[in-house]
């Protein structure tokens, strides 16, 4: 891992991966864990996280192996299919950093579907 990225082993997703905090799991393999968000923003709101220690999407892209990257995104696709999101579409979001709204310092993708999810971003004053 690059010195620019400091992974916090105490973040909530690390604790979920370690089995210290339960989750409503929908998928797991060697590359990813997927589970229901505890504060859903759509009828279906699943979080997909890599099993490796990556802070953000840029950390993941820069430091994960090609096998980890491929395995993770294949898992995202499997989860979207498994959860019935392919027929009508869904939104995938990876918030990054403070300005991007990232709340947990472990790379994760939100899958939102089951209904129209609204505009791309809200119009808020800076």
51: number of Cβ within 10 Å: 16
Q: Are 122 and 53 in contact (CB under 8 A)?
A: no
The pLDDT value given to residue 3 = 47
- Taking the model in full, what pTM does it have? 0.93
Instruction: Report which secondary-structure segment, H or E, holds 46.
Output: strand 44-50
Q: Are 83 and 44 in contact (CB under 8 A)?
A: yes
Extract the residue ranges of the chain whose pLDDT is less than 70.
Answer: 1-3, 124-126
Alpha carbon separation from 118 to 41, 42, 96, 114, 122 (Å, rounded): 11, 10, 20, 12, 9
Tell me which of 45, 106, 108, 110 is the catalytic residue. Answer: 108
The pLDDT value given to residue 120 = 84
Q: CA-based angle 42:87:113, to the nearest 5?
A: 10
The pLDDT value given to residue 72 = 98
Q: Is 108 one of the annotated active-site residues of the chain?
A: yes
Domain ranges within the chain, ordered by starting residue: 50-91
Measured between alpha carbons, how far is 111 from 63 in angstroms, rounded to an integer? 23
The pLDDT value given to residue 50 = 98
């Amino acid at each position: 891992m690059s010195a620019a990225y400091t992974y916090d082993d105490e973040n909530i997703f690390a604790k979920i991966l370690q089995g210290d905090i339960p989750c409503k799991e929908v998928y797991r393999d060697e590359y990813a864990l997927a589970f229901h968000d505890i504060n859903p923003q759509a009828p279906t709101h699943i979080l997909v996280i890599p099993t490796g220690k990556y802070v953000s999407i840029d950390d993941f892209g820069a430091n994960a192996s090609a096998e980890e990257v491929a395995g993770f995104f294949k898992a995202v696709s499997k989860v979207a299919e498994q959860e019935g999101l392919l027929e009508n579409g869904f939104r995938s979001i990876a918030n990054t950093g403070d300005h991007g709204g990232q709340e947990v310092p472990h790379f994760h993708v939100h899958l939102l579907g089951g209904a129209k999810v609204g505009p791309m971003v809200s119009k808020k004053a800076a």
